[in-house]
């Protein structure tokens, strides 16, 4: 599993035994990152604060940030922290991982220890759990002294210790195979704990927490009110002891407002003694004190709260008083005037405090009345009856360990620390409170406002920030934790949300040091999944307690089953290496917890069985609390219950209160359900489907994805009592796909007429009137619940059984074991058999094929090995227009969209989004379930081809034939499995046909190399002109229309989808910018050679065509394509072994002269070196011609002047110069199209004169032919031309030197006004750059900052001074570099606009009809040249600069890798709008974008 480094509070659950890999996200690539974790090293104990650094692994053997990872082998369950640092920052981010022990098998029952009796009696009472099929018991120990065994467990005359408890736990494990967990309570202790009296500093008392003094005063006043009410002293005021109606509640409010609050004057704890403060102020003024310094504090009078919270103990910040109230002079009357102002202000502030306290008192009154309503009036409350000392008006908030005295006497104790230290705050919980806030700490008014739902038998513990704050408490609880972890297998963190996180972390670390595989569960009532996640991740909680009782109806109960566990039925098979996705915490899903009300009170007794069955079908830990199965009709109170649980006796009569057996309550049903739950978990039934059949019936399916067996439980709930609610007698029939093998169980809750419930005095007894009528493992025909079962068939793959019910009464459950029909079961086994060649995951449930088709007898990899890269283009890619050329098209999903490719990648891109989320509702999945159209499209498209591709199609067809016979709900899963297997095998085959650079490269390199397959293909019609018949290794085919043999060379599309087919597929410039990256670096040398020679055959006027148009429709309107072509020949000679031999290859010339008609192949042939010589000679001679068919026929926007093409070598500089302001002969070739804006026929970027990249490319070419000639590989050292009416010889060596000497003088913009080389210093607006052109008709165009000079830097770096080049690159980085591309124009330029909208037609000259195509939008391919230039010149400037540049390059390219992975086209776009924004007019994937990025990785 892979985790991208980031900071998060999501839960990342990692199964035990997996490997977790940390990989760099895009923002971290190119930076020095160190990952630290506290996951322990092999053989070492876990120490929370002991972190170690993980080492990076490099799969490709190179320091490639896109692929490197560090990893952990997860062998120990728990929560572990990681963090990472960048550069000098130690912590840049981090998070937690939770190693999950996988706990689907657990079934648990909760017990109150005090109801188990003496320790000797525990086995007889716990045996109920064993006989009910449970595997874990949870015992709530309820300890006053955490370090000693509760005396109640020890019979008289015996002496038991924790060792004896441990022995019992171990006996349960060995003899019953049952684990035992217990509660640990850290945030409170019993109020009667002896040690808390001896160490009151361990609680919140009035000495260490004086902010609680006002709340204590209120609490004591309420106690005295209780005694007076109990004595009837408020009866005259309408408040009797027995509170029964709303008038009594109103009387409580009246008494509080009129009697109690005025008596205790709580506001005085928050007020200032005005006259004392004024007197102090007066003395300061009389002594001449002035606050004269300039204050940086907030203005205004400051009141300081008395930290001891005494009455009128608040003081005035005299500095603020002196600053606020300044006398006019030191005269007494002015001082008195000032004191009067202060007196008035303090009186006002005291009134404000009074108002605040009155608001607190009003809330306290609301809470008090609300408490009384619940405890005495509410139907679902305990109905405590009259107010008395045992059941006071409200629960006391503080302990009071002294004899009764008057309130006045008690208040005097406030000032006696030896007494007030024993007034300890009780614990409880606060509705809707922030669980990360401690409600007993200063700043909280919970106790004052009576918002605490208080547990009067407990004292809240005060830990402080660490052991140093309360040493005894930390030591005591550490020892308690060690004892618990030593003798129990797990712990439940009681009241976890109110336990300080740092305390729980510390204690669990202690526990895990004793028991490393401790099972930790917790109850969390935070009300927020994000807050839950904080606790789960920091504490390593294995399961969070959830309960079915939280559901208000059967629909919600079913939803909880779906939420708390399992994949959906028919889920996709996930890859072994996959991103680690956030998930919710594992649930321990209980029928009901011991803390909450009994379901029988809120629902009905008959609902216990079906709701329990719903819970049991959840794919997570499940359980209940003791008493639920016995139908105890009330909550078993943790505080007040004093009776014992009944013991186990299998023959116990129905009326027995002291014993229970199989016939008690629903125990027999629960035994069957618990066994089923454990069986489903053990056998891998990890998929879940919940069907709400009607308002009361829920059907839950658990499915095993390898054997495809299912268990379907149909549960009819009874949320309302059937005795008082009329249930519908018409139960809808059910349609169960597959063959019902057996009825696993059918159970009904029935009335056995054994008397009515009477609460027993000694034992916690249940309702005797109900029991379970149950049958297990019976044939369908023996069922009494099912009336009849018919078999229907929906087509060849849908075998469905229709079930009609007769006795599915409220309170009933029936569970079916379902298999696929025998034919489907066999065929899915065969399918898994063939898939097991790709992954061992499919071995389980596989069956060998008795009569395998011939095409399946060979491994798919063997069939794939016969494919060429051109075949793989058909198999994997081809966009809609490419397919349409062959008479087909890409598949359209009705109601959704058309796939991007007809090949496998079209589906793989969509499935990659569906698979991780198991989005089975996606339109593609729906289409697959509905019919075979898409399935047949995938295979038939290939079968209709010839040769090896047809064999692959037949292989797919044979696999699909098996798949078509399995149920439709499984089709998406197996279709994906087949496609993934085919796709990955195809990729392996593709990489084997490529260069070692690709084979040994990173994932990024391989992803980019797929662009070669994406862009390079053979269409129905030849895109390239024919090569000489004498060239070897040229592919041929028979034309399906003419029957003639013809060449079928691979051509390179410029971009998809717009430039992929017909005459618009091949462009000279695009082809040769992309050829090095996509063909030479990937090892496609022969195909690259063929493209070079095919274009050579179209040379005319000394130029290579821009639009190839198969040679016959070529346009020779660009000045740069020839030089890119020459650069590729040079690259070919450099990269390919014996590559210089291409110079001797014969070229069949289509246009041996400028004006001839196309010649037949082979009619005129000459070696490539002669074609090169002709191109160079023609440029030196000067090229000038008018395009053929000039006019709207070939360009409907160009003006007449634009059809005149000119290019020549400037004799003064050696630069290739040409063009005019009406055409655009470089890659920035946008021609205006808008008549409305009057830009039609005007190029946006003519770049006439000498374009900088053409100068660089020509320098590279001339240098190369000079070197070739010196080696005897090129026969020409120059050429004769006519100049000034004379024939002269120009040597290439001389030309090379001239370019070298002229370049920087002409192109460098120094910014120095005295620079003798600068002709237009007034046009310079960016210095330290290289001009974009030289000698443009619009001189300002030369000085525009564009990214083109970086191209010259890469192809002819010798032209540049390293220091100057670095400065220019720095400017380009700051001004032009975007997230993915390079801005095509300086954003400071007045015509810059970064958003390209080709559909916009308004009157804006600079924007209309996309006129700004190259005036700001960020094109991707120049990034490659910019980064390569940075790398080249960084090396020249030293190792430190180079290291920094490598990091920059990695960081920039990380964004391209991210885009490549996420793009459904699996490509890089032509361009983006400014700042990387998506541009809908761009090609989604562009050849040169992919190629130049790949070239950067090659340079790295």
Name the residues annotated as catalytic. Answer: 494, 497, 595
- Report which DSSP code applies to 299: S
| C-alpha–C-alpha distance, residues 976 and 266, integer Å | 71
The strand order across the sheet containing 1216-1218 reads: 1183-1186, 1204-1209, 1216-1218
Is the Cβ–Cβ distance between 654 and 767 less than 8 Å? Answer: no
What is each CA distance from 1119 to 1186, 1225, 1247, in whole angstroms? 14, 5, 11
Residue with tokens 């605490």: 452
For residue 1487, how far is the Cα from the chain centroid? 31
| C-alpha–C-alpha distance, residues 194 and 200, integer Å | 10
| C-alpha–C-alpha distance, residues 971 and 965, integer Å | 9
| C-alpha–C-alpha distance, residues 18 and 264, integer Å | 64
CB contact set of 287 (below 8 Å; sequence gap of 6+) = none
| C-alpha–C-alpha distance, residues 843 and 197, integer Å | 65
Would you state the structure tokens that stand for residue 491, as one six-digit string? 């712990």
Q: How would you write 81-128 as a 3-class SS string? A: EEEEEECCEEEEEEEEEEEECCCCCCEEEEEEHHHCCCHHHHHHHHHH
Calculated CA dihedral for residues 1408, 1410, 1415, 1421, nearest 10 degrees: 180
Give the count of beta carbons closer than 10 Å to the beta carbon of residue 81.
17
Give the count of beta carbons closer than 10 Å to the beta carbon of residue 1079.
31
Residue with tokens 């029964």: 244
Q: Would you call 1191 helix, strand, or coil by DSSP?
A: coil
Q: Would you call 442 helix, strand, or coil by DSSP?
A: coil
Q: Is 1374 exposed, middle or buried (0-12, 13-18, 19+ CB in 10 A)?
A: exposed
Give the count of beta carbons closer than 10 Å to the beta carbon of residue 415.
11
- Report which DSSP code applies to 375: I
Is the Cβ–Cβ distance between 1278 and 1172 less than 8 Å? Answer: no
Residue with tokens 């039925």: 569
Is the Cβ–Cβ distance between 1357 and 1398 less than 8 Å? Answer: no
Is the Cβ–Cβ distance between 1408 and 1239 less than 8 Å? Answer: yes
CB contact set of 134 (below 8 Å; sequence gap of 6+) = 107, 108, 109, 178, 623, 674
Is the Cβ–Cβ distance between 58 and 68 less than 8 Å? Answer: yes
Q: Is 1302 exposed, middle or buried (0-12, 13-18, 19+ CB in 10 A)?
A: buried
| C-alpha–C-alpha distance, residues 908 and 1411, integer Å | 37
Would you state the structure tokens that stand for residue 135, as one six-digit string? 């595997």
| C-alpha–C-alpha distance, residues 381 and 372, integer Å | 10
- ω before 767 within 30° of 0 (cis)? no
| C-alpha–C-alpha distance, residues 691 and 733, integer Å | 13
Instruction: Please name every residue paired with 652 in a beta bridge, in sequence order, or none if there are none.
Output: none
Is the Cβ–Cβ distance between 1372 and 1347 less than 8 Å? Answer: yes
What is each CA distance from 298 to 172, 323, 324, 346, 1438, in whole angstroms? 67, 11, 11, 18, 54
Is the Cβ–Cβ distance between 510 and 482 less than 8 Å? Answer: yes
């Amino acid at each position: 599993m892979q985790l991208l480094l980031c900071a998060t509070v999501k839960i990342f659950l990692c199964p035990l035994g997996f490997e977790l890999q940390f990989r760099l996200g895009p923002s971290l690539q190119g930076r020095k990152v160190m990952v630290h974790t506290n996951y322990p090293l092999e053989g070492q104990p876990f120490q929370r604060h002991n972190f170690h650094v993980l080492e990076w692994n490099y799969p490709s053997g190179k320091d490639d940030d896109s692929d490197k990872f560090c990893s952990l082998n997860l062998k120990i369950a728990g929560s572990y922290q990681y963090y990472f640092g960048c550069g000098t920052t130690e912590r840049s981010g981090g998070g937690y991982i939770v190693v999950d022990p996988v706990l689907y098998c657990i079934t648990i029952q909760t017990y109150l220890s005090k109801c188990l009796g003496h320790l000797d009696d525990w086995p007889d009472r716990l045996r109920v759990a064993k006989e009910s099929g449970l595997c874990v018991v949870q015992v709530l120990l309820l300890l006053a002294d955490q370090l000693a065994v509760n005396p109640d467990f020890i019979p008289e005359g015996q002496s038991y210790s924790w060792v004896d408890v441990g022995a019992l736990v171990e006996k349960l494990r060995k003899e019953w195979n049952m684990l035992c967990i217990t509660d640990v309570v850290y945030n409170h202790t019993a109020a009667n704990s002896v040690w808390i009296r001896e160490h009151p500093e361990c609680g919140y008392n009035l000495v260490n927490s004086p902010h609680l003094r006002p709340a204590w005063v209120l609490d004591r006043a309420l106690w005295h009110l209780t005694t007076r009410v109990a004595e009837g002293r408020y009866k005259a005021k309408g408040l009797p002891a027995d509170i029964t109606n709303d008038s009594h509640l109103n009387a409580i409010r009246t008494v509080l407002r009129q009697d109690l609050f005025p008596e205790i004057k709580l506001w005085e704890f928050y007020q200032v003694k005005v006259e004392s403060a004024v007197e102090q102020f007066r003395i300061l003024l009389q002594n001449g004190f002035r606050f004269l310094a300039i204050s940086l504090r907030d203005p205004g009078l400051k009141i300081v709260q008395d930290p001891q919270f005494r009455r009128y103990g608040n003081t005035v910040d005299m500095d603020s008083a002196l600053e606020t109230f300044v006398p006019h002079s030191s005269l007494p009357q002015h001082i008195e005037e000032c004191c009067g102002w202060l007196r008035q202000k303090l009186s006002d502030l005291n009134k404000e405090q009074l108002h605040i306290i009155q608001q607190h008192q009003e809330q306290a009154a609301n809470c008090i009345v609300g408490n009384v309503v619940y405890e005495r009036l509410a139907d679902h409350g305990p109905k405590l009856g009259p107010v008395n000392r045992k059941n006071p008006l409200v629960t006391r908030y503080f302990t009071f360990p002294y004899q009764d005295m008057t309130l006045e006497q008690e208040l005097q104790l406030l000032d006696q620390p030896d007494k007030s230290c024993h007034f300890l705050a009780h614990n409880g919980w606060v509705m809707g409170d922030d669980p990360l806030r401690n409600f007993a700490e200063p700043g909280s008014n919970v106790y004052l406002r009576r918002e605490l739902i208080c547990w009067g038998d407990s004292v809240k513990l005060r830990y402080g920030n660490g052991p140093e704050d309360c040493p005894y408490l930390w030591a005591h609880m550490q020892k308690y934790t060690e004892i618990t972890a030593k003798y129990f297998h797990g712990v439940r963190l009681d009241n976890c949300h109110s336990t300080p996180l740092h305390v729980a972390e510390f204690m669990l670390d202690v526990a895990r040091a004793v028991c490393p595989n401790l099972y930790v569960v917790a109850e969390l009532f935070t009300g927020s999944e994000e807050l839950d996640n904080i606790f789960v991740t920091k504490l390593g909680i294995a399961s969070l307690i959830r309960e079915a009782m939280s559901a208000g109806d059967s629909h919600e109960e079913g939803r909880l089953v779906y939420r708390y566990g399992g994949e959906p039925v028919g889920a996709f098979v996930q890859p072994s290496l996959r991103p680690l996705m956030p998930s919710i915490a594992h649930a321990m899903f209980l029928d009901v917890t011991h803390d909450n009300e009994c379901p029988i009170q809120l629902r009905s007794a008959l609902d216990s069985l079906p709701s329990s069955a719903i819970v049991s079908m959840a794919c997570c830990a499940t359980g209940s609390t003791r008493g639920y199965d016995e139908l105890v009709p009330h909550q078993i109170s943790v505080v007040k219950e004093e009776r014992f649980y009944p013991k186990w006796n299998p023959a116990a009569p129905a009326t027995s209160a002291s014993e229970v057996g199989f016939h008690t309550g629903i125990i027999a049903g629960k035994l069957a359900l618990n066994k089923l739950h454990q069986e489903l978990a053990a056998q891998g039934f990890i998929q879940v489907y919940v069907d709400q059949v009607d308002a009361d019936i829920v059907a839950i399916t658990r499915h095993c994805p390898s054997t495809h067996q299912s268990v379907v439980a149909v549960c009819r709930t009874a949320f309302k009592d059937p005795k008082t609610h009329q249930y519908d007698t018409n139960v809808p029939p059910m349609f169960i796909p597959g063959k019902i093998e057996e009825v696993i169980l059918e159970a009904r809750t029935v009335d056995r007429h054994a008397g009515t419930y009477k609460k027993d005095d000694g034992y916690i007894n249940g309702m005797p009137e109900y029991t379970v009528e149950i049958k297990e493992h019976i044939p369908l025909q023996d069922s009494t619940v099912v009336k009849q079962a018919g078999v229907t068939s929906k087509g060849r793959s849908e075998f469905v059984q229709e079930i009609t019910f007769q006795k599915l009464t409220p309170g009933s459950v029936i569970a079916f074991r379902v298999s696929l029909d025998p034919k489907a079961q066999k065929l899915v086994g065969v399918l898994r058999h063939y898939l097991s060649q790709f992954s061992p995951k499919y071995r389980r449930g596989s069956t060998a094929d008795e009569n395998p088709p011939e095409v399946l007898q060979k491994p798919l990899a063997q069939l794939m090995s016969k494919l060429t890269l051109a075949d793989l283009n058909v198999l994997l890619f081809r966009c809609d227009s490419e397919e349409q050329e062959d008479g087909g098209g890409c598949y359209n999903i009705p109601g959704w969209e058309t796939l991007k490719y007809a090949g496998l990648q079209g589906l793989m891109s969509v499935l990659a989004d569906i698979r991780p989320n198991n989005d089975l509702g996606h339109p593609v999945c729906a289409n697959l379930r509905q019919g075979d159209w898409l399935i047949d499209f995938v295979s038939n498209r290939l079968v209709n081809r010839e040769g090896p591709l047809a064999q692959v199609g037949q292989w797919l067809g044979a696999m699909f034939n098996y798949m078509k016979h399995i149920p439709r709900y499984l089709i998406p899963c197996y279709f994906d499995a087949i496609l993934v297997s085919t796709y990955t095998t195809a990729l392996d085959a593709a990489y084997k046909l490529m260069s070692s650079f690709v084979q040994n490269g990173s994932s990024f390199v391989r992803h980019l190399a797929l662009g070669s397959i994406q862009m390079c293909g053979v269409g129905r019609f030849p895109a390239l002109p024919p090569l000489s018949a004498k060239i070897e290794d040229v592919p041929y085919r028979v034309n399906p229309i003419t029957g003639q043999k013809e060449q079928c060379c691979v051509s390179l599309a410029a971009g998809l989808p717009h430039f992929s087919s017909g005459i618009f597929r091949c462009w000279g410039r695009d082809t040769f910018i992309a050829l090095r990256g996509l063909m030479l670096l990937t090892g496609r040398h022969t195909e690259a050679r063929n493209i070079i020679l095919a274009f050579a055959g179209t040379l005319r006027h000394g130029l290579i065509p821009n639009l190839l148009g198969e040679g016959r429709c070529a346009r020779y309107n660009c000045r740069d394509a020839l030089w890119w072509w020459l650069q590729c020949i040079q690259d070919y000679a450099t990269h390919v072994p014996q590559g210089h031999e291409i110079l001797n290859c014969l070229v069949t010339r289509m246009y041996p002269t400028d004006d001839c008609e196309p010649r037949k192949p082979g009619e005129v042939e000459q070696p490539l070196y002669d074609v090169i010589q002709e191109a160079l000679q023609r440029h030196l001679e000067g090229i000038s011609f008018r395009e053929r068919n000039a006019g709207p026929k070939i360009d409907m926007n160009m003006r007449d002047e634009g059809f005149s093409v000119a290019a020549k070598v400037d004799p003064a500089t050696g630069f290739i110069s040409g063009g005019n302001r009406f055409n655009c002969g470089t890659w920035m070739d946008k021609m205006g199209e808008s008549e409305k804006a009057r830009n039609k026929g005007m190029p946006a970027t003519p770049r006439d004169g000498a374009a900088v990249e053409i100068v660089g490319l020509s320098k590279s070419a001339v240098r190369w032919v000079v070197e070739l000639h010196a080696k005897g590989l090129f026969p020409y050292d120059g050429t004769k031309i006519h100049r000034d009416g004379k024939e002269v010889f120009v040597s290439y060596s001389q030309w090379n030197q001239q370019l070298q000497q002229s370049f920087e003088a002409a192109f460098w913009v120094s910014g120095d006004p005295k620079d003798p080389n600068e002709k237009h210093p007034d046009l310079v607006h960016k210095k330290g750059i290289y001009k974009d052109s030289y000698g443009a008709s619009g001189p300002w165009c030369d000085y525009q900052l564009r990214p083109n000079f970086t191209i010259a830097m890469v192809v002819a770096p010798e032209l540049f001074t390293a220091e100057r080049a670095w400065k220019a690159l720095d400017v380009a980085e700051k001004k032009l570099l975007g997230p993915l591309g390079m801005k095509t124009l300086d954003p400071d330029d007045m015509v810059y606009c970064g958003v390209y909208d080709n559909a916009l037609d308004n009157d804006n000259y600079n924007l209309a009809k996309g006129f700004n195509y190259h005036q700001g939008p960020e094109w991707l391919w120049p990034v490659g040249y910019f980064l390569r230039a940075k790398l080249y010149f960084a090396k020249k400037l030293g190792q430190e600069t180079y290291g920094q540049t490598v990091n920059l390059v990695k960081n920039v390219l990380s964004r391209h890798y991210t885009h490549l992975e996420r793009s459904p086209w699996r490509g890089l776009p032509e361009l983006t709008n400014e700042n990387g924004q998506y541009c809908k007019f761009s090609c989604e994937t562009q050849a040169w974008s992919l190629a130049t990025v790949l070239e950067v990785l090659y340079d790295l």
